[in-house]
Chain A
C-alpha cells in the first residue's frame, strides 16, 4: 500500500500575461513530496522554481494564470479552494520561508507587534519558548527593537520560527532561505531547518540555485530549466549519474570541480527565450541535440531511478558509464 503523499503536483502550468504576450513561466511540472522529505528545486534565475512555490501557496500575482491537473495538499485540492479556505491553509498548513528576511518584515514596526500580528494573544512564555527553539532566546528581551537592529541570521531564524513552529504546519516551502546569509550563519540555518524536519516530520520543498546547499540538505531534487522540470532524482543519483544534458552541464560548471588556474567548462549560450521554443528548451545549447530535439518536446520518461525529460537520456548519461538495469 502506498500512503498518500503530503503534496502532489501534476502538470502545473503558469502563464504570465505581459505586454509582449503570454509568457510561460512554469510548464508541466509534476512532483510529489512525502512527509519528512526534503525535495529540492534547483535551477538558474528565471527557470520558474520560485513561481512553483507561489503557485502552491496560490499567491501568484494577478497577471498569472495557473493550471494543474492536480495540486493536492493532504488530499485536498488547492486549486479549487476558496480565498477563505486558502487563508486557513497559508501559514497554518503550509509555511513559507522567504528569501530576504529583511524585506519580509515591516521596517517601521517593532518585532513584538509583528509577532502579535501572526501569533495573536499567545502568552509571552510560549513566545519565549518558540524563540528558544530556534536559538533566539537572547532576542526575547529585545523584542521592542526594529528589524534593522538584528542580524540577517537572527531575522531569518525568527521567520523560520513563524513559518515552521508557530502554527505547526506540515509543509514548509523554503525559497532560497540562506542566499543572503554568511557561510557560518547559513550552516546554522540549514541545521535548524533539518532539525525541525527531523523533530516535526515536516515535508520541505527547498528552492535554491546553490547546488552545494542542495547536496547538503535534500533527499530528492528536481532540476528546472526554462519552466520545465527536466530531471528529478534521488540526490545521490542526480550527482553521481546525471542524465539530462543540462544537469550534466550544470554539474560540470561548478567551480569546486576545478583546480586553480583551470578553465571551467561553461554552458554556451543563454536560456533567454527558451521557454517559447517548440521542441526541447535546452536544444539550442545542448551538445547532443538532433533535429528531433528542436521540433518535438520530449516527454518525461523514467530512466534508472530518475525521471528525465530528454529524447536521448541514456546516450547523454551513459557514454562512459555502465548502463543501469531497467527500473
Chain B
C-alpha cells in the first residue's frame, strides 16, 4: 500500500491585525491568532478516499488549502508522495469558472499550461477525452457557464481538474446545494473516476451521507482539532467521541419511522481566536469532566485503526 498523502503535526494559525473598523467586535480585539488547524495528522493510501467531516470553522477547508499549497503551514507538514499532482474541485462551480469564457476555453486553459507537449489537435483530442470521462456532450465546448445547469457545471469543473492528469483530487463540498438526482449522478461519477483512473480523494464535506458512500477513511474535526479518525465503517457505525455522536445524530434521516428526538447540542462552536483550553469540545460536551479543561486529550485506539481523542473514552474498556 503506497501512501499518497501524509500530514504530520499540521498546524495553521492566522494572525488578525488590529482592526480598523469601529464596531465593538473590532474594538475589543488587539493582535489575535486564529487557531484554524492544530496538530493534525493523517495518511491516505493511494486510490483511497479520506473524508474530513465537521462543521463551519472546524478547519477542514484550511487542511485542503494546505494540501493544495495555497497557504503555508505554521508548523508540521503535509506532503503528496511521488508525483505532486493535485487539483481542486471547488464547492461552487459558478464562481470557479469565468462566465465570460466558453466551457471549451476552461478545459483548454490547463492543457496550455500543464501539457506544453500537445499541439492544437492533441489538445482537442484531450478535451474530447475529458468530456467523455465526465459524461458531457461535445456541444458544451461552445456554451457558456450560464447556459448549463449546476450539476453539469460541476462536471465541467471536474473535467477541468482532470485535464492536468492529477493523482490527487481535493473535493471541497463537491455536492453541496445540489438537487437529489443531480447529487446522485455526481457521486456515481466520482466513484467511477476513482476506480477507473486510480485517483486519491481528499473529500471535504458536511454531507454525512455522501461521505458514507465515498470514504474509506474518515477524520472528524472540531475547532481545528481531530477528535476522531479511522476506518469509515467504524467511525460511522460506532462513533466514540461525544462530538462525532452528536454530529451523526443531528443529521436528519430520510425515514419518518426513525424520527430523532432532535435534542441537539446546546450552544454554538466557540471562536477559534480564543479556543477553550484542554479539549476544545468541552464547552458543549454533555459528559464534560474537570480534567477536560486542563489537558488536551491524546488520541487513543478505540478499535483497530480507530483513534479517539477524549478523556472520557481514554480509560473506558472499549
B233 is an interface residue with CB less than 8 A from chain A: yes
A267 is an interface residue with CB less than 8 A from chain B: yes
Considering the complex, give the chain B residue whose CB is closest to the CB of A47. Answer: B179
| Selected contact of B149 from candidates A153, A187, A272, CB within 8 Å | A272
CB atoms of B233 and A184 under 8 A apart: no
| Selected contact of A183 from candidates B149, B188, B251, CB within 8 Å | B251
CB atoms of A149 and B254 under 8 A apart: no
B residues 151-169 in Cβ contact with A at 8 Å: none
CB atoms of B262 and A194 under 8 A apart: yes
| Selected contact of A212 from candidates B184, B251, B268, CB within 8 Å | B251
A263 is an interface residue with CB less than 8 A from chain B: yes
How many chain A residues touch B (CB < 8 A): the figure is: 53
B146 is an interface residue with CB less than 8 A from chain A: no
Assembled-state Cα–Cα distance A179/B252 (Å): 12
Assembled-state Cα–Cα distance A214/B206 (Å): 18
B113 is an interface residue with CB less than 8 A from chain A: no
CB atoms of A184 and B265 under 8 A apart: yes
CB atoms of B256 and A184 under 8 A apart: no
CB atoms of A187 and B213 under 8 A apart: no
CB atoms of B212 and A151 under 8 A apart: no
CB atoms of B180 and A182 under 8 A apart: no
| A265 to B: closest C-beta gap in Å | 8
CB atoms of B188 and A266 under 8 A apart: yes
Assembled-state Cα–Cα distance A209/B255 (Å): 15
Residue among B191, B192, B233 facing the most chain A CB atoms (10 A cut-off): B191
A85 is an interface residue with CB less than 8 A from chain B: no
Assembled-state Cα–Cα distance A133/B257 (Å): 29
A171 is an interface residue with CB less than 8 A from chain B: no
Number of A-B pairs whose CB atoms are under 8 Å?
140
| B268 to A: closest C-beta gap in Å | 6
How many chain B residues touch A (CB < 8 A): the figure is: 49
B1 is an interface residue with CB less than 8 A from chain A: no
CB atoms of A254 and B191 under 8 A apart: no
B residues 161-194 in Cβ contact with A at 8 Å: 177, 179-185, 187-188, 191-192
B310 is an interface residue with CB less than 8 A from chain A: no
B206-232 interface bits toward A, Cβ cutoff 8 Å, 1 = contact, 0 = none: 111110111110000000000000001
B74 is an interface residue with CB less than 8 A from chain A: no
Can you list 22 residue pairs at the A/B interface with Cβ under 8 Å?
Answer: A184-B246, A185-B264, A186-B252, A187-B250, A187-B252, A191-B263, A209-B180, A210-B252, A213-B252, A215-B253, A215-B256, A249-B181, A253-B183, A253-B184, A255-B210, A256-B209, A259-B213, A265-B184, A266-B181, A266-B185, A266-B188, A270-B149
Chain B residues close to A by CB (< 8 Å): 23-25, 55-56, 149-150, 177, 179-185, 187-188, 191-192, 206-210, 212-216, 232-233, 246-247, 249-257, 259-260, 262-265, 268
Chain A residues close to B by CB (< 8 Å): 44-45, 142, 144-146, 149, 151-154, 179, 182-188, 190-191, 194, 209-216, 218, 235-236, 239, 249-251, 253-256, 258-267, 270, 272
